[in-house]
Amino acid sequence: MLTELGIRKVAAKGGQRVEIWDEKIPGFGLRVAPSGTKSFVIMYYAAGRKRRLTLGRYPVLSLVDARRRALETLVKVASGSDPKGGEPASTLRYRFTDMVGEFVEAHCARHNRENHARETERILRSRFADAWSNRDIREIAKADVLKILDGAVRAGTPSAANHALAAIRKFYSWAVERGLVDANPCAGISRPASAVARERVLSSQELLAVWKGCEANPTPFAQIVQLLMLTAQRRGEVVGMRWSEIDWRAQSWSIPASRTKSNRAQVVPLSTLATSVLNAVSRINDELVFPARGNEDTTTSGFSKMKRQLDGRSQVSDWTLHDLRRSAATHMASLGVAPHVIERILNHTTGTFRGVAGIYNRFQYLPEMRAALELWAEHIGKLEDTETHSAT
């Protein structure tokens, strides 16, 4: 049973979140973030789906008051409502946005690697949830799916349309298997576009325009774009960044293997400019650097609108966030950075790190990586300085 003395003594272990459950009230517990922040939570089921509600932080909220709130929450659940959603439980049973959560928990978390499961959830929420959030999954027809896919193709992101089809098809295959729907609305839909490797590399002037567009509107999305440009890491790795992964003293960012596409842990030296971008991020969540608005347990998503706005400010079009990774690698090569150093920055296992060489060559090249990323950041800074002097 939770006690005041026990709560005061408990601490996070090894940079990992700790959860302790009370024996007195079912589902009531304490969550300790890696930063040491302590919050009371209550777990319950609404319409057959597990839900978690944060009651408040300790010691602002006492144990006595937290127990009272937990009991009030359970009373609401017993009356047929969902305290977190504020809607009757009966209306939540087959709502698309809720079923995505159940799919991720029941299927993806068990059968996919963590980063793959997270990417599938991101696609389903960013591509489909905005349009279908309150719709019953049994009402979705083939025409609804095609409308979303066609929109992605028209927006100039055919590859994203292909990924969207794969994610929604997998979701509905799971729903059919569970008996939630009678048929998969994706049946008979072919890939929206041919799989063609992109070769887009933004020029120095285009990169500068994008950078200045981010400075003009310093939102979390803009900070994500700047970090993508400066670190050359993948979007999912930057968006999913944790505060516990950042070593401010060493100016480095350690990405665990579970969050990388290659399933290899990665240490990214942070340039002075990248560190300044991170220092400017508002710390509104104890764990996630870029949490979703209104949901502290997931990372931010829904970048399409913000990307279009950035295109308008920068006047740079026909590029994707992943193109920043290719562009950084290409420009670092033009600055004289060795290919094997670029490959280590990208966390690739090809080229000089292919096969046996990759297994036995464990040297991390951290000094060379730091020098390369610092050189790359200085190059971006010089572009801005050059434009400023030209204007004057």
| CATH number of the domain that residue 69 is part of | 3.30.160.390
- Rounded to an integer, what distance in angstroms lies between the CA atom of residue 235 and that of residue 227? 9
Whether residue 74 is found in the same domain as residue 109: no
Whether residue 54 is found in the same domain as residue 149: no
Give helix then strand counts, H and E, for the chain.
17, 11
Give, for 370, the enclosing helix (H) or strand (E): helix 366-391
Binning pLDDT at 50, 70 and 90, where does residue 360 land?
A: very low
CA distances from 339 to 200, 333, 346 (A): 19, 7, 11
CA atoms within 13 A on the CB side of 110: 6
Cis preceding-peptide flag for 34 (omega within 30 of 0): no
Whether residue 258 is found in the same domain as residue 137: no
Whether residue 47 is found in the same domain as residue 126: no
Q: What is the pLDDT of residues 288-339, one digit of tens each?
A: 999 987 666 778 877 888 999 999 999 998 898 999 999 999 999 999 999 9
Residue with tokens 């939540």: 92
Q: What is the pLDDT of residues 148-178, one digit of tens each?
A: 999 988 887 788 899 999 999 999 999 999 8
Which alpha helices (DSSP H) does 335-365 contain, by range?
339-346, 355-360
Q: DSSP code of 162?
A: H
| Domains of the chain: total | 3
- Per the rule left: phi > 0, alpha: psi between -120 and 50, beta: everything else, 21 is beta
| Domain of residue 169, CATH code | 1.10.150
Whether residue 148 is found in the same domain as residue 213: no
- Rounded to an integer, what distance in angstroms lies between the CA atom of residue 27 and that of residue 356? 49
Whether residue 65 is found in the same domain as residue 135: no
Q: DSSP code of 251?
A: T
Question: Could you tell me how many residues make up the chain?
Answer: 392
Say which residues have a Cβ less than 8 Å from residue 13's Cβ, sequence separation at least 6: none
Whether residue 143 is found in the same domain as residue 120: yes
CB atoms within 10 A of CB 308: 11
Any domain includes 277:
yes
Domain that residue 380 falls in: 204-391
CA distances from 150 to 120, 122, 173, 305, 368 (A): 19, 19, 21, 16, 44
pTM over 0.85: no
Give 323: exposed, middle or buried? Use CB within 10 Å, 0-12, 13-18, 19+. Answer: middle
Q: In the listed set 49, 82, 115, which residue is the last one of a domain according to the structure?
A: 82
pLDDT reported for residue 216: 92
Range scoring the smallest mean pLDDT among 201-215, 339-353, 357-371: 357-371
Q: Is the pLDDT of residue 345 over 50?
A: yes
Q: Are 200 and 318 in contact (CB under 8 A)?
A: yes
pLDDT reported for residue 219: 92
Residue with tokens 């046996």: 356
Closest by CA to 225, choosing from 321, 311, 301, 291, is 321
Q: Is the pLDDT of residue 359 over 50?
A: no
Give the pairing type, strands 291-292 and 295-299: antiparallel
Q: In the listed set 20, 47, 82, which residue is the last one of a domain according to the structure?
A: 82
Any domain includes 356:
yes
Whether residue 247 is found in the same domain as residue 330: yes
Any domain includes 191:
no
pLDDT reported for residue 196: 57
| Domain of residue 320, CATH code | 1.10.443.10
More confident residue, 375 or 295: 375
Any domain includes 91:
no
Any domain includes 89:
no
Q: What is the largest CA-CA distance in the chain?
A: 70
Any domain includes 87:
no
Q: Is the pLDDT of residue 122 over 80?
A: yes
Whether residue 77 is found in the same domain as residue 103: no
Range scoring the smallest mean pLDDT among 40-49, 190-199, 355-364: 355-364
Q: Are 175 and 182 in contact (CB under 8 A)?
A: no
Any domain includes 110:
yes
pLDDT reported for residue 385: 65
Q: What is the pLDDT of residues 5-16, one digit of tens each?
A: 889 888 877 767
Whether residue 15 is found in the same domain as residue 65: yes
- Rounded to an integer, what distance in angstroms lies between the CA atom of residue 385 and that of residue 391? 10
Whether residue 349 is found in the same domain as residue 276: yes
Whether residue 158 is found in the same domain as residue 306: no
Any domain includes 90:
no
Q: In the listed set 60, 82, 104, which residue is the last one of a domain according to the structure?
A: 82
